[in-house]
Amino acid sequence: MDVEPDPVGNEAYRAFMGSFPTGVSVVTTVDEAGRPRGMTCSSLSSVSLDPPILSVCLSVTSGTLSALRAHGFFGVNLLGAQGSSVARHFADSTLSHFERLPWRPAAGTGIPRLDGDTIGFAACRVTDTKLVGDHVVVFGVVLGADCGVGVPLLYGRRQFAAWPGAAKGDVAGQRAGLDGATAERPA
């Protein structure tokens, strides 16, 4: 009879995952009172192209997760190479995130879109959620997205870095549905 081994410890798992650099985003939404909410998220993944669906993983204790579930819409703000201070700001749950940072509500949804230090934005409608361990995987259909010129911010081995070898302007500005971050909320 085979015995299933115990899962690896938290520190070994963190070290392993930390060796896999990822892009950095800020997931934003509004709460039931219309106040903006957001958190740093490096757990972002493309799920489907048709329809366009992405996923983010948020801690079960996150106030942003609670607001996102209530609102039903969220934004993914991709941070550029100069965005490490924004990432740190939104990672600190003790701060009032939107008081000192420029942002604007996306038309139709009110989703906060960060201005500056971002290279892209996607407005999403929640299609499903799944509890997995101490996080909830949130699936969202992308209502609109845009990607500007800029170098992505990466995070790995507990530090931020710019995409290596990328020159500013390597990414041609691409727009798909969110010219000026206007996503229409379905009736």
Residues in CB range of 120: below 8 A, 6 or more apart: 76, 77, 78, 145, 146, 147, 148
Give dist(CA 140, CA 29) in Å, integer. 13
CB 22 within 8 A of CB 87: no
All structural domains of the chain with their residue ranges: 23-164
pLDDT of residue 50: 97
- Residue-wise pLDDT for 115-142, tens only, equals 989 999 999 999 999 999 999 999 999 9
pLDDT at 179: 38
Phi, psi of 85 (to 5 degrees): -70, -35
CATH of region 23-164: 2.30.110.10
Residue pair 123/75 in contact by the 8 Å Cβ criterion: yes
Q: What is the pTM of this model?
A: 0.85
Residue-wise pLDDT tens for the chain (187 aa)? Answer: 678 888 888 899 989 988 889 999 999 999 999 999 999 999 999 999 999 999 999 999 999 999 999 999 999 999 999 999 999 999 998 888 898 899 999 877 889 999 989 999 999 999 999 999 999 999 999 999 999 888 999 999 999 999 876 554 444 444 444 433 333 333 3
